[in-house]
Amino acid sequence: MILERITEFLDSHKLKYILIQHSPAFTAREVAVAAHIPFRELAKTVVLSVGNEHILAVLPATEMVDLTVIRQALGTPAVHLTNESAFNVLFPDTEVGAMPPFGNLFNMNVIVSQSLTEDEEIAFNAGSHRDLIKMSYEDFERLVQPRVLAFSAPRHARPNLYSAGLS
């Protein structure tokens, strides 16, 4: 089970976190309401295909992915959202749309939006639409060692961006 794998991973690194269980929720707003956390603290994980590999993009749920910026930053012409049909293979124990941001558990690189690094704490789905983990951003960064890029913007700022993942 993915939740057990995540908590064992965090415990093995002696990190502090809070596990929040809530009623089933599928959008970021629903998750924030169900878990009683501010919407701005919620991070979403978006799966991107970069050539023949997949990477995880982690950003605030209040923002959208700018694939043009990611293409330029990674120096590749081929970056797109991964089709959900691939998720069962990539994340076998995870509910579709509830991927945790730990690329190290899935042999994937992780990029994090610059705006997310400004938060003291982040909260994110823990593999299901009922489980959420809240932890310090500093611990997350130390554990995952993501590449930080300015690849997201608030939804209202640039209407042509992708709102993949939790809405």
Q: What is the pLDDT of residues 127-149, one digit of tens each?
A: 999 999 999 999 999 999 999 99
Whether the per-residue pLDDT at 159 is higher than 50: the answer is no
The residue behind tokens 């994340």 is 91
**Identity at 32, one-letter amino acid code:** A
Does residue 67 form part of some domain? yes
Does residue 142 form part of some domain? yes
pTM for the predicted model, two decimal places: 0.90
- Euclidean distance between CA atoms 100 and 120, whole angstroms: 18
**Identity at 21, one-letter amino acid code:** Q
pLDDT in tens, 36-94: 998 888 999 999 999 889 999 999 999 999 999 999 999 998 899 999 889 989 999 99
Does residue 166 form part of some domain? no
- The domain of 65 spans 2-154
Does residue 120 form part of some domain? yes
CATH at residue 111:
3.90.960.10
Are the CB atoms for 67 and 77 separated by under 8 Å?
no
| Count of the separate structural domains present in the chain | 1
Are the CB atoms for 103 and 56 separated by under 8 Å?
yes
